[in-house]
């Protein structure tokens, strides 16, 4: 055995890149919410990008190392310590049997990603080990439960590249002025002109009500002229506006169909950024042309090939 969970913290879950091809069954996507940090953690160890990592939300997690290994940490800085030594994210590092790895509390960001050689071992359920509690699918025991005390994690490979860090140019940069690119679409034509102005010219504040299903934003009330809508499939990053006018950006554990009007959807890179924003963070939306967004997304993906 390899890592023993001594204190399970706020929320720690196993995630690979999620369930694909099952949305029509009502099954949630899952997968790491900051998929960019997750990819880098796997990349540092030479893993497949679909290898299972631990998504650590906010911290308070304590692990006992039971086998020497090289692990990788990317994403939020949750004040990680290996015994007394501080471990900053965006690097891989050696751990020795008997050491303790602690995640204290968030210094920057919300979710940290811990990768192990070859990925953590977990049963595949509908093609993925991503843990989605609401669907009762995935995770260490296949039932969707988050990691808990006394869970033991092992990994799939014995070899990994030597410890290294990402170059400064590889570490994701925060969008300028926290300006999140949006692909306009869906029911955007049904919003009032004033609401469209407000949507893209106001500052939005991340609410306390933020989890892996969605992030609620506070700001001016947006009004949609369409009162009733037939439920339809909803994509990752969709910006839905319920009747109180306060947008909710839908993340990886969103429901598969929904009946609230939407302004469009964040780009995948913007979703990853939003997943790292603590309540109180101020954001803006910025429209981006589809062709440009696709071009940028392909460039992003090319970093890992």
Partner 1 sequence: MKLAIEVVAIDTLMLRLFDQIEESNMPWLLAAAERLRDVFADKLLELVPSYTTLLVQYDLTQLDDQQARELIKQALTDLSPQAATAGREQQIPVWYDTSVGPELAAIGSRSGLGVAGVIDCHSQHVYQVFALGFAPGFAFMGLVDEIIASPRLSTPRQQVPAGSLGIADRQTAIYPLQSPGGWNLIGRSPTRLFDRELDGYSLLQPGDRVRFVAVDRAEFVRLGGDDTPFEVKP
- Binding residues (CB under 8 A) for partner 1: these are 20-28, 125-126, 134-137, 183-186, 230-238, 255-258, 262, 264-265, 267-268, 290-291, 293-294, 297-298, 301
Instruction: Tell me the CB-side half-sphere exposure of residue 187, using CA atoms within 13 A.
Output: 27
Cβ of residue 82: shortest distance to partner 1, in angstroms? 37
Shortest reach from residue 23's CB to partner 1, in Å: 4
Closer to partner 1 by CB, 118 or 181: give it: 181
Shortest distance (Å) from residue 305 CB to partner 1: 9
C-beta of 200: minimal distance to partner 1 in Å?
17
**Least Å from the CB of residue 188 to partner 1:** 10
Report the nearest approach of partner 1 to the CB of residue 134 (Å).
Answer: 7
Which one, 107 or 257, has the nearer CB to partner 1? 257
Q: Which is nearer to partner 1, 164 or 286 (CB)?
A: 286
HEC profile of the chain: CCEEEEECCCEEEEECCCCCCCHHHCCCCCCCCCHHHHHHHHHHCCCCCCCCEEEEECCCEEEEECCCEEEEEEEEECCCEECCEECCCCEEEEECCCCEEEECCCCEEEEEEEECCCCECCCCECCECCCECCCCEECCCCECCCCCCCCEECECCCCCCCCCECCCCCCCCCCHHHEEEEEECCCHHHECHHHHHHHHHCCEEEEEEECCCEEEEECCCCCECCCCCCCEECCCCEEECCCCCCCEEECCCCCCEECCCEEEEECHHHHHHHCCCCCCCEEEEEECCHHHHHHHHHHHHHCCC
Q: How far is the CB of 190 from partner 1 (least distance, A)?
A: 12
Rounded Cα–Cα distance for residues 128 and 142 (Å)? 10
Q: 106 or 247, CB closer to partner 1? A: 247
Closer to partner 1 by CB, 127 or 245: give it: 127
Closer to partner 1 by Cβ: residue 100 or 133: 133
Residue 35 and residue 132: Cα distance in Å, rounded? 16
Cβ-based nearer residue to partner 1, 59 or 258: 258
């Amino acid at each position: 055995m390899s890592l023993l969970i001594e204190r399970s913290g706020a929320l720690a879950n196993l995630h690979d890149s999620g369930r694909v091809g099952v949305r029509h069954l009502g099954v949630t996507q899952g997968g790491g919410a900051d998929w960019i940090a997750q990819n880098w953690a796997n990349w540092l160890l030479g893993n497949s990008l679909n290898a299972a990592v631990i998504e650590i939300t906010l911290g308070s997690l304590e692990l006992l190392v039971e086998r020497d290994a090289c692990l990788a940490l990317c994403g939020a800085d949750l004040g990680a310590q290996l015994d007394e030594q501080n471990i900053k994210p965006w690097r891989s590092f050696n751990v020795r049997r008997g050491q303790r790895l602690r995640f204290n509390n968030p210094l920057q960001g919300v979710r940290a990603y811990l990768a192990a050689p070859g990925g953590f071992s977990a049963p595949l359920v509908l093609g993925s080990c991503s843990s989605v509690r609401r669907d009762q699918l995935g995770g260490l025991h296949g039932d969707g439960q988050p990691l808990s005390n006394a869970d033991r994690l092992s990994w799939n490979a014995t070899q990994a590249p030597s410890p290294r860090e990402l170059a400064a140019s590889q570490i994701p940069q925060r969008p300028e002025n926290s300006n999140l690119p949006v692909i306009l679409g869906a029911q955007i034509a049904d919003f009032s002109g004033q609401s469209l102005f407000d949507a893209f010219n106001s500052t939005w504040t991340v609410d306390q009500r933020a989890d892996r299903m969605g992030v609620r934003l506070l700001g001016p009330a947006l009004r949609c002229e369409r009162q009733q809508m037939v439920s339809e499939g909803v994509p990752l990053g969709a910006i839905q506006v319920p009747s109180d006018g306060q947008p909710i950006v839908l993340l990886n554990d969103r429901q598969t169909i929904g009946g609230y009007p939407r302004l469009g959807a964040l780009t995948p890179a913007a979703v990853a950024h939003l997943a790292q924003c603590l309540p109180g963070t101020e954001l803006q939306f910025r429209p981006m042309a589809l062709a440009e967004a696709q071009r940028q997304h392909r460039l992003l993906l090319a970093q890992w090939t």
